[in-house]
């Protein structure tokens, strides 16, 4: 007989840190209380989010199966784990992996739990987390206990708190870094984890560390808080410190982080971030989620005032011995090689090795060692691959690996002499593909696969593009190979499309009464310089035509680039008007009867739908006055972007404002085709008929987009800087998107 | 012993005659037409993953997939919700769902050439390392119960069992039978055991 199995709680009792074990017990109790209706569903929702248990698509119990909208009859349909979230609906578990560092034992454990509680896949995110999908909420306490037993916590992986602390995967082996930021990332992550001063944020706060200014790896520019390693010499002694940045972020309105402090001594970084947290918790927006990220607070106060407040706060902080103890502990950080490095010999190389070596192998600062990137399609790894990776990490390196923000796996400290054997060993795992970080190695957020907010299939598109580009990879020109493609399923930008050469985010358009999946094309973002510049939206193209967009843009760049010109420089040189006209032919959508493939998304044969759609009567196109109005608005906002490029801020602001008024006017035409062209009347009618009725409001963003129009109406003329003009253009773009969505909803209503 | 989270993978007979992503449309049709007796939720494309779950049909009680683990394609049914009854009754329920899905796929008008699955070659998995670590002790307990079930479900058929050898993997036993009933016959036989 098998002896009594007991529970994971009993079995792992001695292997979990006591406070963590206690927290998980409390969470298990909260689960039980919620099931019995003794804990408010909103409170429970935030509680589970702060434990990393996230919602997933269709968890409201509704799904359109391609023929009709259906109610999913889950067994406990009257119990909810949050507003509009069914108890039994599969959910997502986000697992924080600080700076993407995993040891072999942790990798094996992740493999086990992905099989037992999810669908067997560990998904690497763009912030070095692991996500498991299709997890039942009642399995989460045991899942957390097993993670805790190998030193991993899911605490504050989601919710309004400090999210995973990320850092360059090259930290410690990079040829250009100031020093290894890995142990500092560890210190920041662990100091702030569960800290009382980070419990009262209005929104999430993401931190990244980078070893240098010029490479991309840390992406500090797009984070709420960033740390860039620096050294200085004082009295002949080298001192370590960091440039501290604040208020970056992607999402609907992207902001570049601003320099908060030029140099903060290493021993000051923990109190500095504690002080920042206090200022943010005290003064950050709490009611309006759309304005609650720290970037809005920094914008509102100005970085000088924010700095003053942080310094003031720092001075009043009670002394904490961990500020220095945790930094002193960084000196004990060891990331040593498994064996002495040896040169790559001249012997026989396996077939395919050279191409792989060129694209996936980076020569470390330490002679005779390499960092190897394993290309992981869409960031998905099976349990078998994970176990074999654990084995390889023990065989070739020091039993560790790192997850990258490009959704890949990185092995460091590989002796060059071992590279051919490693390449051979990767083959049975299907992880020997060349082209890591290339145009074929596409980053994508979960999109409509699992995300509740997804509009279009980012993963479906990424799979298709990757398949095509991988097949062509050997023939691609080297400058094309180096381009980066990143895809988000909606404007929230989890796929980091703003910092790709070629970025896309999902949206939709109505054509002949049908909803057609589209992607907004965003060109010219900058990955280097820690995500140094964001691309601008060029226009929406039907999802089916995106492969043609990639082909066209890449080919034009190859043919027309000047010697040494980067993609960003090329796009700037030819100008947005030219880029837009390049895409014009690709914007058309054939009629429903002519080509139905346009009316479904990549990898999903269901007719694309945002709800129940009536079938249009006409074989041809019916273009309404509203369609025209929205098209006018799009044109106007495009002109605003061009003006922005030409540093005509006032013109950009005025055009952005006018584009919003045009879009609002287009909508009003559904009710009153004689609407005046006077902005006062348009805004007033829009407020009455679309805002106050809630008709224009986005299901998730609420009145956010409507407020952009009202704000612009009041104050567009006061725009005086490039940054505020840029923001107004971005807001206009989003307002127009919201107008399209509103119009779609109106057409779909019975 | 109370075994839960049972799974069955029916082996594919021969090679697939079409790209694996063709199952996506078929699984969506399963949802649209309520083809299986459990609530189905969504279809997930993992065709980009090396030897992974291939195409996944997510359900509430169980997930189904055209699984490619170890390069061996098969129809995998993995129960997630607890099942009642004896081990034999639980196994009958899981295997019956797999047989129903296999039969539906074999008969699909849309999959050409029609795939064929083996009713006489399958692996039974216990997806729970707490109750069923992949050890000799688990095998010794599970095997008699599995044999008893096979004897009832496939009356008079010889059966060879082979355990999964890698202790890090889930506990499982490959079943090879001396006769191959049709899925209609198997479904009928299993209905009496549930
Ligand atoms: S970008 Fe949009 S679709 Fe993609 S994960 Fe973020 S919220 Fe979801």
The domain segmentation of chain B, as residue ranges, is 6-191
Q: Is residue A399 part of a domain?
A: yes
Decide which of A429, A460, A490 is a domain's last residue.
A429
Is A610 a residue whose pLDDT tops 80? no
pLDDT at residue A624 in the model = 67
pLDDT at residue A622 in the model = 39
**Least trusted range by pLDDT, from A364-373, A533-542, B177-186:** A533-542
Per-residue pLDDT tens for A674-698?
Answer: 788 899 999 999 999 999 999 999 8
Residue located nearest, by CA, to atom 2 of ligand 1: A490
Q: Which of A456, A376, A438 is nearest to A122 (CA)?
A: A376
Per-residue pLDDT tens for A152-209?
Answer: 999 999 888 999 999 999 999 999 999 999 999 999 999 999 999 998 888 999 999 9
pLDDT at residue A296 in the model = 93
> What is the rounded CA–CA span in Å between residue A108 and residue A490?
33
CB distance A11–B130 less than 8 Å?
yes
The CATH number given to whatever domain includes residue A710 is 1.20.120.330
| A596 and A725 assigned to the same domain | no
CB distance B32–A5 less than 8 Å?
no
CB pairs A-B closer than 8 Å = 104
SS3 content of chain A, % helix, strand, coil (to 5): 45, 20, 35
pLDDT at residue A5 in the model = 67
CB distance A119–B58 less than 8 Å?
yes
**Helix B136-153 × helix B87-106 angle, to 10°:** 60
Interface mutation target, options A55, A77, A86, A134, chain B, most CBs of B under 10 Å: A134
pLDDT at residue A614 in the model = 23
Sign of CA dihedral B59, B62, B66, B68: positive
Q: Which residues in chain B show pLDDT less than 50?
A: none
Q: Is residue A104 part of a domain?
A: no
Please list the residues that pair with B55 across neighbouring strands. B45, B66
Is A289 a residue whose pLDDT tops 80? no
The mean of the pLDDT values for chain A is: 92
Quick check: B125 and B6 in contact, CB under 8 A?
yes
* Percent of the residues in chain A that have a pLDDT greater than 70, as a whole number: 97
> For a substitution probing ligand 1, which of A94, A489, A519 has the most ligand atoms within 8 Å of its CB?
A489
Decide which of A611, A628, A655 is a domain's last residue.
A611
pTM of the model: 0.89
> What is the rounded CA–CA span in Å between residue A580 and residue A525?
16
| A500 and A641 assigned to the same domain | no
Q: Is residue A531 part of a domain?
A: yes
Q: What is the mean pLDDT of residues A340-355?
A: 93
The CATH number given to whatever domain includes residue A498 is 3.30.413.10
Check pocket membership of A126 for ligand 1, CB cut-off 6 A: no
Q: How many domains does chain A contain in total? A: 5
> What is the rounded CA–CA span in Å between residue B21 and residue B42?
15
Interface mutation target, options A60, A63, A105, A119, chain B, most CBs of B under 10 Å: A119
Q: Which of A289, A304, A440 is nearest to A360 (CA)?
A: A440
Smallest Cβ–Cβ distance between B51 and the set A136, A430, A604 belongs to A430
pLDDT category at A348 given cuts 50, 70, 90 is confident
| A548 and A486 assigned to the same domain | yes
Decide which of A611, A640, A657 is a domain's last residue.
A611
pLDDT at residue A749 in the model = 58
| A199 and A237 assigned to the same domain | yes
Range of the domain at A192: 173-332
| A16 and A34 assigned to the same domain | yes
Is A10 a residue whose pLDDT tops 70? yes
Quick check: A489 and A506 in contact, CB under 8 A?
yes
pLDDT category at A269 given cuts 50, 70, 90 is very high
Q: What is the mean pLDDT of residues A614-633?
A: 52
Residue predicted with more confidence, A68 or A112:
A112
A263 lies within 8 A of chain B by CB: no
Q: What is the mean pLDDT of residues A706-711?
A: 95
| A87 and A129 assigned to the same domain | yes
Tell me the two tokens of residue A341. Answer: 């490095």
Q: Which of A369, A352, A479 is nearest to A414 (CA)?
A: A369
A73 lies within 8 A of chain B by CB: yes
Q: What is the mean pLDDT of residues A391-399?
A: 98
Question: Does the complex come out with an ipTM higher than 0.95?
Answer: yes
Q: Quick one: closest CA in A to B55, which residue? A: A603
Check pocket membership of A250 for ligand 1, CB cut-off 6 A: no
Measure in Å the smallest separation between the Cα of B39 and chain A Cα atoms.
Answer: 8
A456 Cα to the center of ligand 1, angstroms? 9
Is A279 a residue whose pLDDT tops 60? yes
Check pocket membership of A453 for ligand 1, CB cut-off 6 A: yes
pLDDT at residue A365 in the model = 97
Q: Quick one: closest CA in B to A387, which residue? A: B168
Measure in Å the smallest separation between the Cα of A739 and chain B Cα atoms.
Answer: 30
| A661 and A680 assigned to the same domain | yes
- A-chain CB neighbours of B130 within 8 Å are 5-8, 11
pLDDT at residue A473 in the model = 94
Q: Which atom of ligand 1 is nearest to the CA of A495?
A: 1
**Least trusted range by pLDDT, from A53-67, A99-113, A418-432:** A53-67
Q: Quick one: closest CA in A to B71, which residue? A: A428
| A697 and A740 assigned to the same domain | yes
CB distance A463–B53 less than 8 Å?
no
Greatest mean pLDDT range, A47-51, A530-534, A618-622, B77-81: B77-81
């Amino acid at each position: 007989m098998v002896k009594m199995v007991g529970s994971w709680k009993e079995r792992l009792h001695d292997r979990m840190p006591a406070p963590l074990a206690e927290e998980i017990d409390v969470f298990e109790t909260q689960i039980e209380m919620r099931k019995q209706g003794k804990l408010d569903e909103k409170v429970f929702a935030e509680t589970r989010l702060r434990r990393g248990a996230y919602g997933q698509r269709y968890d409201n119990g509704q799904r359109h199966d391609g023929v009709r909208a259906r109610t999913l009859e889950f067994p406990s349909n009257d119990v909810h784990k949050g507003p509009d979230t069914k108890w039994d609906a599969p959910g997502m578990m986000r697992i924080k992996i600080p700076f993407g560092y995993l040891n072999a034992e942790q990798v094996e454990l992740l493999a086990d739990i992905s099989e037992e509680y999810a669908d067997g896949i560990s998904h690497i995110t763009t912030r070095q987390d692991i996500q498991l999908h299709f997890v039942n909420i009642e399995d989460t306490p045991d899942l957390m206990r097993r993670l805790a037993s190998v030193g991993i916590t899911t605490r504050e992986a989601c919710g309004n708190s400090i999210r995973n602390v990320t850092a360059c995967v090259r930290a410690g082996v990079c040829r250009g870094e100031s020093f290894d930021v890995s142990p500092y990332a560890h210190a920041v992550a662990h100091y702030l984890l569960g800290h009382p001063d980070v419990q009262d944020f209005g929104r999430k706060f993401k931190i990244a560390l980078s070893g240098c200014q010029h490479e991309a790896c840390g992406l500090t520019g797009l984070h709420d808080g960033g740390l860039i390693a620096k050294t200085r010499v004082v009295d002949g002694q080298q001192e370590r410190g960091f440039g501290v940045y604040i208020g970056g972020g992607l999402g609907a309105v992207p902001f570049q982080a601003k320099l908060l402090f030029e140099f903060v001594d290493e021993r000051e970084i923990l109190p500095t971030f504690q002080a920042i947290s206090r200022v943010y918790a005290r003064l950050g927006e709490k009611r309006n989620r759309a304005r609650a990220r720290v970037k809005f607070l920094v914008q509102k106060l100005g970085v000088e005032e924010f700095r003053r407040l942080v310094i003031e706060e720092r001075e009043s902080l009670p002394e904490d011995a961990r500020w220095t103890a945790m930094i002193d502990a960084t000196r004990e950080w060891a990331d040593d090689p498994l064996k002495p490095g040896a040169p790559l010999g001249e012997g026989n190389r396996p077939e395919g090795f050279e191409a792989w070596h060129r694209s996936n192998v980076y020569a470390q600062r330490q002679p005779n060692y390499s960092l190897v990137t394993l290309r992981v399609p869409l960031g998905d790894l099976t349990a078998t691959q994970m176990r074999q990776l654990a084995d390889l990490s023990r065989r070739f390196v020091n039993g560790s690996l790192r997850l990258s923000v490009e959704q890949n796996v990185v092995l460091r400290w590989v002796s060059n002499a071992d590279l051919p054997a490693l390449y051979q060993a990767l083959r049975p795992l299907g992880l020997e593909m060349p082209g890591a970080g290339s145009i074929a190695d596409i980053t994508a957020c979960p999109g409509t696969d699992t995300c509740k907010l997804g509009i279009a299939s980012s993963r479906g598109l990424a799979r298709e593009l990757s398949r095509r580009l991988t097949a062509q990879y050997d023939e691609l020109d080297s400058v094309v190979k180096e381009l980066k493609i990143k895809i988000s399923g909606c404007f929230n930008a989890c796929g980091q499309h703003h910092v790709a050469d070629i970025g896309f985010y999902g949206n939709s358009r109505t054509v002949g009464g049908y909803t057609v999946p589209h992607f907004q094309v965003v060109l010219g973002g900058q990955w280097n310089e820690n995500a140094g510049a964001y691309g601008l939206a060029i226009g929406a193209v039907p999802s089916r035509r995106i492969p043609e967009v990639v082909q066209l843009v890449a080919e034009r760049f190859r043919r027309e680039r000047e010697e040494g010109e980067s993609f960003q420089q090329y796009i700037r040189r030819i100008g947005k008007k030219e880029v837009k006209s390049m895409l014009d032919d690709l914007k058309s959508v054939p009629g429903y009867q002519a080509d139905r493939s346009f009316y479904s998304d990549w990898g999903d044969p269901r007719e694309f739908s945002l709800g129940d759609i009536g079938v249009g009567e006409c074989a041809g196109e019916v273009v309404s006055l509203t369609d025209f109005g929205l098209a006018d608005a799009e044109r106007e906002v495009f002109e605003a972007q061009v003006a922005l490029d030409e540093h005509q801020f006032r013109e950009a602001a005025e055009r952005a404002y006018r584009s919003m008024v045009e879009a609002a006017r287009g909508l009003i035409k559904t009710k009153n085709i004689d609407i005046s062209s006077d902005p006062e009347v348009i805004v007033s009618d829009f407020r009455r008929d679309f805002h106050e009725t809630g008709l224009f409001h986005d299901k998730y963003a609420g009145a956010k987009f409507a407020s952009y129009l009202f704000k612009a109406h009041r104050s567009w003329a006061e725009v005086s800087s490039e940054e505020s003009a840029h923001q107004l253009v971005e807001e206009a773009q989003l307002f127009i998107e919201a107008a399209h969505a509103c119009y779609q909803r109106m057409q779909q209503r019975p | 012993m109370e075994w839960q989270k049972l799974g069955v993978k029916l082996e594919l007979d021969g090679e697939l005659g079409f790209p694996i992503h063709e199952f996506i449309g078929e699984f969506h049709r399963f949802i649209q037409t309520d083809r299986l007796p459990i609530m189905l939720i969504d279809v997930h494309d993992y065709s980009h993953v090396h030897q992974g779950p291939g195409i996944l049909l997510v359900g509430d009680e169980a997930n189904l997939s055209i699984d490619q683990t170890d390069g061996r394609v098969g129809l995998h049914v993995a129960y997630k919700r607890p099942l009642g009854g004896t081990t034999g009754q639980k196994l009958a329920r899981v295997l019956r769902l797999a047989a129903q899905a296999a039969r539906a796929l074999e008969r699909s008008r849309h999959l050409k050439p029609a795939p064929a699955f083996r009713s006489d070659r399958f692996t039974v998995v216990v997806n729970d390392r707490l109750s069923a670590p992949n050890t000799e002790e688990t095998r010794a307990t599970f095997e008699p119960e599995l044999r008893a079930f096979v004897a009832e479900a496939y009356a008079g058929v010889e059966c060879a069992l082979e355990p999964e050898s890698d202790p890090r993997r889930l506990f499982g036993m490959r079943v090879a039978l001396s006769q191959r009933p049709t899925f209609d016959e198997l479904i009928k036989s299993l209905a009496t055991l549930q």
